[in-house]
Every structure is written in structure tokens, then in C-alpha cells.
Amino acid sequence: MSQERTVPIHYWVICGKHAPDGFMRDFKYPEQAPASLCKPHSVIEPTPDADATGVLIASLIDRHHSEVLQSYPWRCVTCDKPATEILHSAVPLLSPGPSASADFEPMVVDNAAPICISGGACDRNAEKMVHQFAKDALIHKPWQRWEVSKTCDKCGKKSGVKLCGGCRLIA
């Protein structure tokens, strides 16, 4: 079986406290993605495969998570304790829609928040913070549709996934 052709993309991580008084750092990584996920589409054509997109996002996060976590003595965005984890909320902007500009570059934007521990109140508050940050960014770029959806942390699958009631990870 042959490998699918790939195209260059950017993986952009914005990590820190997503608030006016918060400290944030950004990391940009050149990456490759399957060409089928980045091809232009119109409103009548099907959008790129959500499960394949989820697999790509999971692999990007997995590849760069440790480097981002260890790059700075992060503090939890909620309680200010030392951070031991990073909550990732990645948004795929891979396929230009019908109203995309000519200089469109495919990328995955990861709004990441350092947290003291996965699960619990700090995790839930950080999740709200990064989602609000993404929604606020939409006001400035209304032609881009950011789909915030649940993705399995293990395999990247997007369909048929459920939140674990105990740890709040996708299972």
C-alpha cells in the first residue's frame, strides 16, 4: 500500500493563560499533512475526513507536547500551582473554504493551557478559557469556521467518542 502524498502545514501552539493579564508563548512547527485534508472544497463538496483530521491533530500534539511543557516553568492557569500537564484544544484550519484568501496557508492552531492536574475543576476552567479564546478570535476572522469537537486522545478518532466521567479524557 502506497503512502498518501503530503503537503506542508504549520502547527501553531499558543500556550499560557488566555486572558488579558496572562502570560503566553507561541511555538510554530513546520509539519506535513495528507494532501486530501488540505484540498480546497466548496459548500457542495464534502469536507475533509474528520477522523483522519483527528488522527493528524493527535499526532501533532503527541510529537510536541513534551517540548512545550518543558519549555517554561508553567503555572496552572486556574490556581497558579506548578503545571504538570497541558490542556490542548487544537483547531484544524487545513482546507480553504470557498471564501478563503489567495494567501491561505494550511495550519493547525492549538490553544493550549498549562494545568496542575488533568481532570477536576482546573481542567474544566482551563477548557472554558481556551474555548472562549477561540470564539473571540472568530470575531476577527468570521470567514473561518473553527470546529471545536471531541477527539480521542489515544487514536485521534472524532466519531463515536465519549468523555470519561472520572478523568474527563476522551475514551
Q: Which amino acid is at 8?
A: P
Q: Which amino acid is at 155?
A: C
Q: How confident is the model at residue 27 (pLDDT cuts 50, 70, 90)?
A: very high
Averaged confidence pLDDT in the chain: 80
Burial (0-12, 13-18, 19+ Cβ within 10 Å), 86: buried
Return the pLDDT at 167.
41
The residue-averaged pLDDT of 11-22 equals 86
Q: Pick from 93, 113, 84: which is nearest to 13 by CA?
A: 113
Return the pLDDT at 104.
86
Between 116 and 161, where is the model more confident?
116
The β-bridge relationship of strands 85-93 and 24-34 is unpaired
pTM for the complete prediction?
0.75
